[in-house]
Structure 1
């Protein structure tokens, strides 16, 4: 039964004014055991237009004066509210959009909380609930099939509850659907602050946690060889110039692929022969062979080459043992060739050492043959040595990776800033390329990959000035490709950030659904206003004043924007991002320092 509370007195476009009856000012009304909320801001009302029930949202209220007699001193006030239609009910089913408009004197009535819950709870019979509507306190079942089939954005200032929302969303998914996920989907969390390394989200046998430490080493991310031996990736990692250094790296990789059946030791011996048996020896070649000895870690070879002198007069190399290395090759064949076989052991080289060795061997050949200038290529090798020293502690290049986990958390908390910029790109590219290759031309995709990036502004920002522009552009282009083209292959991004305005506008504009916590910065609010077409003005106005844990839900999965209060997870499953309890922290020191405090008081 409807409870009438007013009537329509004005209709102007989609703005409707109601006169509220004098006895309709209660905050809560119970009728036949059903709870109704009174008329106030952002409440829902029903206007009967014939057999159509128009659902409206209250956007404002005010008082209007009325005098029954011009001579009378008593003034009465009429309560009026402005409402906006958001949809209509036909046969108990809610339909979004403005199709019907009321007429003057149409009756308005209250909506029960159950009906409001049915309007916003899109999934009938589903139990995918992470919270309740803020005002109605009605549990809402989210449309999970449309949520996880889209790109998600979870934004909010620090302390607003976005980490709890992210954890609650995926914890509920794993709790409800974990059996169906196995073998069909993979979830990868790039965790900058180490918030999900314990029992958060999922604690089953198929959860893997990799804690990377670029300073001390330890656990390592398994990167496939095909993604490591890639010219574009190496050029960006080492900031190679486009005209000289990048083509040099391509020659290194091309030679590796072309002569993959030839042992690396044979390649080393042939290169040394070009240097020490050349018709016109070059001192740059000698210096490069010394670098090669350091790469392969041979003290005996290092000592021998350090004592070799270049004679510029007769253009030859003289060894400390007294023999000369010249174009006849006799000294090389009689001394250095067997010396290399004895002291240049290459069996224990890892992929990073192999890369540096191949680079120096290629540069040796290029310099001797006159294909490249030593001074032009040497800077990229210096940058490569610097980058590899950090990457070696966090990456292991493998030919065949281990089987993927259902949920893989990769923590970058203990990594240095320069490594934090590089690793997410390598990790995302590794998973994305593998998934795309495995899916091929399947339509629709048979499996899905979900990349979850916490604190996404760290790697998706256009504002960073501490990195090379080419590297930043490539990183952004990679994630822009994933968010624009990944849907075709079943790849979806979930981005969590406290500064959405710092993220590339191209990426934000491609997000389908948003969980927006409190944001107060004008740039952040302006970005949302320009990129989210489903965010209405009344919901946007609430964003700067939202309480902790409350968020605005809007996007393609929701028929209407709603304000949701997300239930906090218990401490065991909450992300490791709780605020410090100073009362408890400092209270532990009060008793132990009581004597010092009394002494201080006496002194004062």
Structure 2
């Protein structure tokens, strides 16, 4: 250190006050071929204490009177600066934290850019997303300690958070070639994209990217794969169809138990269908609604016309509480049944999907429950109506497969799932089903390993859409289940190599439990009091200056802090090039409206 600019005159706790020499009050100082920034707010200074260099940051300054005892009673002013210690250098290594404090009389020096780079740059120089706002120094981030944590990118709309999210992963995927190959071999990245902002050339090259555009408005769109175990879950199905606790959930449990016990092949279903068909007419306690339930399956039957023709002739004989076909009354037993249906057999179409098989099982289960007096039809019918509505949309966007690990079937590094063309209900359902599917499959594949060799990274843009506690559009049980799943992932997922990256413009809407477990933050401009209060009470590593800067940050600027970083950083993130930026740019009204005057 050669350029001395002042000396320590007071130390109050961890607040350091220095007196600045008059010749040091310049904005930029050139000394021995090097450039130094003058003393100003948020500038860094070095205090020599013996053989240790204590690094401190400027937090405030003021003028103090100095009266000279002369005939003219001359009054001069001394510039005093308040400093906050950050850490110290030992040799060429910087150590964060207040371990050493100066004494009165210790000299104060300016820091050049090389020293400031050593303070903040923690990587090996190959991962940078921007430069410091104050000194325009490019900072290298420690990617190896950043992406094995949960990350939060927050900021008001238009503040640049989508650009930051894109820059982070673009730099990761398109950096070192060997690193990219290793990532592709050991990790999978899933982006849940609510607004279709990452379906183009963003994040990674097209050969390493799989884009699935879900669409509930028309059929023939993309579909995501879901394992059978994720779909055939009584708990999930009960929530999915908003089943009531006392009657409808037990009914779904019986349906799922039948699947677990007997399987879901077409042959098994046909045996179940024909045995139920026989019981409808041969039972001594027939149910009037059984015919309607069986007719509802007509489109899934191979001999639909024959079935419809037979069933349309069947009427209900109210006086005897039995079915009648012509002169034949089905009073119970095989004789009457064989008179009419002796050679008649129901068969199921071979190409029906899992959702249609599920509907068949539900209808057959209800018929059998009615025959045995387990339920009342009026209690279960609303459940069937809700099933039809939800399944109609789900069948457009989900393909249920027998394979457990559906995410490993895709050999692409990155999968983007766009929900832009989905209705609001599916936008709530799909993230939960996919996250449950991927998390459980990944956890099962690595839980017996002592050293985890695979990781799963879930990137959720506009995370407040599904992690909010304020939503009133859905049942409380459904919302609670979704929040509990993500809370489990953010608390326990690290043990299994599962990491979340959340991006949102309203962090105050996200579950406090989830926010408290995020390790690293990239905070853009936030102006809402609730958001600022949450940030203030959630992130302990923010200093007073960084907190005060958040509502005033310019577009593209962000505060970077968290467990990976020794000190908070103020960074101007590089703007992505055209075509690589997410499709969230502001509309140029001057260009749009001005074109009308040409």
**TM-score, normalising length: structure 2:** 0.95
Tell me by how many angstroms 1:70 deviates. Answer: 7.1
Q: Which residue of 1 aligns with 2:81?
A: 81
Q: Paired residue for 2:571, among 549, 561, 564?
A: 564
Q: Which residue of 2 aligns with 1:596?
A: none
Q: Paired residue for 1:414, among 406, 418, 421?
A: 421
Q: Which residue of 2 aligns with 1:475?
A: 482
- Deviation per CA, 1:68-122, whole angstroms, max 9, x where unpaired? 1376364321111100001001112111110111111111110001110111001
Q: Which residue of 1 aligns with 2:186?
A: 184
- Deviation per CA, 1:371-393, whole angstroms, max 9, x where unpaired? 22222222222111111111111
Tell me by how many angstroms 1:291 deviates. Answer: 2.6
Q: Which runs of 5+ in 2 are unaligned?
A: none
What is the rounded CA distance, in whole Å, between the counterparts of 1:150 and 1:444 in structure 2? 17
Conserved? CA contact 1:295–1:356, under 8 Å: no
1:156 partnered with 2:163: no
1:343-422 equivalence runs, <5 A:
344-400=347-403, 401=406, 402-422=409-429
Q: Paired residue for 2:593, among 566, 582, 586?
A: 586
Conserved? CA contact 2:300–2:348, under 8 Å: no
Match of 2:191, SS state, is strand
Conserved? CA contact 1:192–1:454, under 8 Å: yes
What is the rounded CA distance, in whole Å, between the counterparts of 1:461 and 1:303 in structure 2? 52
1:11 partnered with 2:24: no
Q: Which residue of 2 aligns with 1:325?
A: 330
Q: Paired residue for 1:576, among 577, 580, 583?
A: 583
What is the rounded CA distance, in whole Å, between the counterparts of 1:541 and 1:70 in structure 2? 44
Match of 2:560, SS state, is strand
1:272-311 equivalence runs, <5 A:
272-293=277-298, 296=301, 298-311=304-317
Q: Which residue of 2 aligns with 1:215?
A: 217
Match of 1:371, SS state, is coil
Q: Paired residue for 2:541, among 529, 534, 544?
A: 534
Tell me by how many angstroms 1:204 deviates. Answer: 4.1
1:227-238 equivalence runs, <5 A:
227-238=230-241
Q: Which residue of 1 aligns with 2:91?
A: 91
Q: Which residue of 2 aligns with 1:595?
A: none
Aligned pairs, how many?
587
Q: Which residue of 1 aligns with 2:195?
A: 193
What is the rounded CA distance, in whole Å, between the counterparts of 1:295 and 1:477 in structure 2? 37
Q: Which residue of 2 aligns with 1:601?
A: none
What is the rounded CA distance, in whole Å, between the counterparts of 2:595 and 2:328 in structure 1? 77
Conserved? CA contact 2:561–2:568, under 8 Å: yes
Q: Which residue of 2 aligns with 1:37?
A: 37
Conserved? CA contact 1:296–1:353, under 8 Å: no
- Deviation per CA, 1:456-498, whole angstroms, max 9, x where unpaired? 0000000001100000000001101111110000000000000
Conserved? CA contact 1:154–1:496, under 8 Å: yes
1:497 partnered with 2:504: yes
What is the rounded CA distance, in whole Å, between the counterparts of 2:342 and 2:397 in structure 1? 36
Tell me by how many angstroms 1:370 deviates. Answer: 1.1
Greater shift, 400-409 or 107-116, is seen at 400-409
Q: Which residue of 1 aligns with 2:250?
A: 247
1:117-136 equivalence runs, <5 A:
117-123=117-123, 125-136=124-135
Match of 1:347, SS state, is coil
1:270 partnered with 2:272: no
Conserved? CA contact 2:300–2:349, under 8 Å: no
Tell me by how many angstroms 1:568 deviates. Answer: 0.5
What is the rounded CA distance, in whole Å, between the counterparts of 1:346 and 1:127 in structure 2? 58
What is the rounded CA distance, in whole Å, between the counterparts of 1:413 and 1:282 in structure 2? 45
What is the rounded CA distance, in whole Å, between the counterparts of 1:259 and 1:275 in structure 2? 21
What is the rounded CA distance, in whole Å, between the counterparts of 1:58 and 1:70 in structure 2? 34
What is the rounded CA distance, in whole Å, between the counterparts of 1:214 and 1:426 in structure 2? 16
Conserved? CA contact 1:296–1:357, under 8 Å: no
Greater shift, 296-305 or 100-109, is seen at 296-305
Tell me by how many angstroms 1:404 deviates. Answer: 4.4
Conserved? CA contact 2:184–2:412, under 8 Å: no
- Deviation per CA, 1:129-162, whole angstroms, max 9, x where unpaired? 1100110111100011110010000000000000
Q: Which residue of 2 aligns with 1:115?
A: 115
Kindly tell me: are residues 337 and 396 of structure 1, through their superposed partners in 2, closer, same or farther at Cα, counting changes over 3 Å? farther
1:463 partnered with 2:470: yes
Match of 1:366, SS state, is helix
Q: Which runs of 5+ in 1 are unaligned?
A: 592-604
Conserved? CA contact 2:46–2:54, under 8 Å: yes
Greater shift, 183-192 or 262-271, is seen at 262-271
Q: Which residue of 1 aligns with 2:61?
A: 61
What is the rounded CA distance, in whole Å, between the counterparts of 2:305 and 2:576 in structure 1? 58
Q: Which residue of 1 aligns with 2:173?
A: 174
Q: Which residue of 2 aligns with 1:106?
A: 106
What is the rounded CA distance, in whole Å, between the counterparts of 1:112 and 1:94 in structure 2? 15
Conserved? CA contact 1:130–1:168, under 8 Å: yes
1:555 partnered with 2:562: yes
Q: Which residue of 2 aligns with 1:598?
A: none
1:544 partnered with 2:551: yes
Q: Which residue of 2 aligns with 1:165?
A: 164
Q: Which residue of 1 aligns with 2:322?
A: 316
